[in-house]
Amino acid sequence: MKKWLVTTLALVMTASLATGCGGDNGSAGNESGTASKPGSRDGKKTELTFWGDWGGEGQKQFETMVDAFNKSQDKIHVKYVLQQDMITKFLTSATNGGTPDVLFWDRWRTSLYAPKNVLHPVDEYLTRDGISKDDFYSESLRELSYDDKLYGLPLTVDARALFYNKKLLADAGLQPPTTWDELEAAATKLTKWNGNKLEIAGFSMGDLGLFNMYLQQAGGTMLTEDGKTNFNNEQGKQVLEFWDRLMNKDKVYKVGFELGLGEGQDAFVTGKVAMLYSGPWMLSTYNKYGKDLDYGIVPPPAGPSGDKGSVMGGFGLVIPEGSKHKEEAWEFIKWWTANKDNALLWAKTSLNLPGYKPSMEDSFFKDDPKWQPFLDTLEFAKVRPNHPGYSVMETDALAPNLQLNQQNKMSIDETLKKSQEEGDKMLKDNEVVK
């Protein structure tokens, strides 16, 4: 998701390092058209370079997986290289050499960069090695695809669900909301003002990037099938009218409320926000720093007609077209993302939901009730539209107008009309990738 994903804190590993890169999985044509097999050449290990932009705890998590892979076999050695401004460096390396062998990939970028021929399709590898697409969320594969070609495998999946403060809801005699009406009623009852000072916000409305999720709940979609904006309509109006009631009639939130609490103050941890939308990446943070926080999670409440909606995001691993060791790169990606034990090791190491569905049958997920709402949400969550200009449209056309609307500087009708006009132009200008 652009990167909306916050790197989680590492969990001390309790699982033993998973083994098994597998035996000889057959051969595939290399760039010269001759058959090649992954592994050592002339008795030396093949050296792979893995680029990513996660540092700190995220880097330790990656290195845990790299070390486990390196110990699992004796033909390939992977080295993780932290890269700042990774995409710019990657595009530069694609033209002048020095391309990495494996790239940590924010999946939404696929439709923007696959047309530039800098990524290598992996369809033939899946077919050859008998890897079933049914073992992955279809939406995550769709986000890694362009023009009917698949360009990698999902490493993580995520979606927003509703976090709520159990004590605040219990004290108010409330159950977690399941519909917009229940969400509005609960948020109103949970909000506390002291004169003109907001002390407890019933519901956080600080993230305007969630418009897509609300639009799904209203039964709408962000784009039409022919690649035009699709929110200047009744569904888009329902979303902004709902937001308007929450902000201006019910007054459950105030613009800038969370930022105004001061640096290092988390509004949910400190009980200043009763409910908010967030993702699984926050579990470790809330568990570690919210020692006095008793919270629960439920799937996002349904919209006026019962429609469910959430946006699926996450990362993948891809092979650059310029890699000189594509077979070996695929072995590493397959080991990490298409093996139950290794995907589970990744989950326990990073506290991310892995992209490989069979690993989620483990007791690590089944015995912790906080995971289940996300697993339920992922069953209906949708990725962002697969259009090269979508991210530009959302960031530069829609978001600024939504901000003006929330600040009561632009009417609902004008917001939707202007967002449509500016958005359609940006989509058209960016529909052909150069």
Its sign, for the CA torsion 275, 277, 280, 281, is negative
Instruction: Using the predicted structure, report yes or no on whether residue 287 has a pLDDT greater than 90.
Output: no
Rounded alpha-carbon distances, angstroms, from residue 29 to 37, 126, 167: 9, 14, 60
pLDDT at 140: 97
In whole angstroms, what separates CA 216 from the centre of its chain?
17
Percentage with pLDDT > 70 across the chain: 88
Burial class from Cβ neighbours inside 10 Å (0-12, 13-18, 19+) for residue 82 reads: middle
User: What does DSSP say about strands 46-52 and 102-106: parallel, antiparallel, or unpaired?
Assistant: parallel
- Per-residue pLDDT tens over the stretch 33-42: 333 456 655 6
- Among 91, 79, 10, 71, smallest CA distance to 51 is for 79
Q: Are 106 and 130 in contact (CB under 8 A)?
A: no
Domain range summary for the chain, segments of one domain joined by +: 28-158+313-378, 161-310+387-429
**Beta partners for residue 151, in sequence order:** none
Instruction: Using the predicted structure, report yes or no on whether residue 222 has a pLDDT greater than 50.
Output: yes
- Per-residue pLDDT tens over the stretch 360-397: 999 999 999 999 999 999 999 999 998 989 989 999 99
Q: What's this model's pTM, rounded to 2 decimal places?
A: 0.85
**Mean per-residue pLDDT, 300-320:** 97
- What secondary structure letter does DSSP report for 224? -
pLDDT confidence of 144, banded at 50, 70, 90?
very high
| Cα dihedral 21→22→26→29 (10° resolution) | 0
Output the DSSP codes for 338-366.
S-HHHHHHHHHHH--EESBGGGGGSHHHH
Q: Are 387 and 111 in contact (CB under 8 A)?
A: yes
Q: Locate 27 and state its tokens.
A: 């051969």
**Mean per-residue pLDDT, 341-349:** 96
Mean pLDDT of the chain: 89
**Beta partners for residue 82, in sequence order:** 52
Q: Which of 211-220, 226-235, 252-261, 371-380 has the lowest mean pLDDT?
A: 252-261
Rounded alpha-carbon distances, angstroms, from residue 428 to 233, 287, 334: 20, 45, 37
Q: Which of 60-69, 76-85, 384-393 has the lowest mean pLDDT?
A: 384-393
**Mean per-residue pLDDT, 319-343:** 97
pLDDT at 356: 97
pLDDT at 100: 97
Burial class from Cβ neighbours inside 10 Å (0-12, 13-18, 19+) for residue 290 reads: middle
Q: Locate 76 and state its tokens.
A: 């390939």
**Mean per-residue pLDDT, 161-190:** 98
pLDDT at 285: 85
Q: Locate 5 and state its tokens.
A: 């994903």
**Mean per-residue pLDDT, 76-87:** 96
Cα–Cα distance measured from residue 327 to residue 36, given in angstroms and rounded to the nearest whole number: 8
Question: DSSP E strands: which ranges in 152-195?
Answer: 153-154, 156-157, 161-165, 192-194
Q: 28-158+313-378 with 161-310+387-429: one CATH topology?
A: yes
Residues 6 or more apart whose Cβ sits within 8 Å of residue 92: none
Which CATH number describes the domain made up of 161-310+387-429?
3.40.190.10
User: What does DSSP say about strands 145-146 and 149-150: parallel, antiparallel, or unpaired?
Assistant: antiparallel
Cα–Cα distance measured from residue 152 to residue 120, given in angstroms and rounded to the nearest whole number: 8
pLDDT confidence of 194, banded at 50, 70, 90?
very high
Q: Which fold has domain 28-158+313-378?
A: D-Maltodextrin-Binding Protein; domain 2 (3.40.190)
- Per-residue pLDDT tens over the stretch 90-117: 999 887 778 999 999 999 999 889 999 9
Burial class from Cβ neighbours inside 10 Å (0-12, 13-18, 19+) for residue 194 reads: exposed
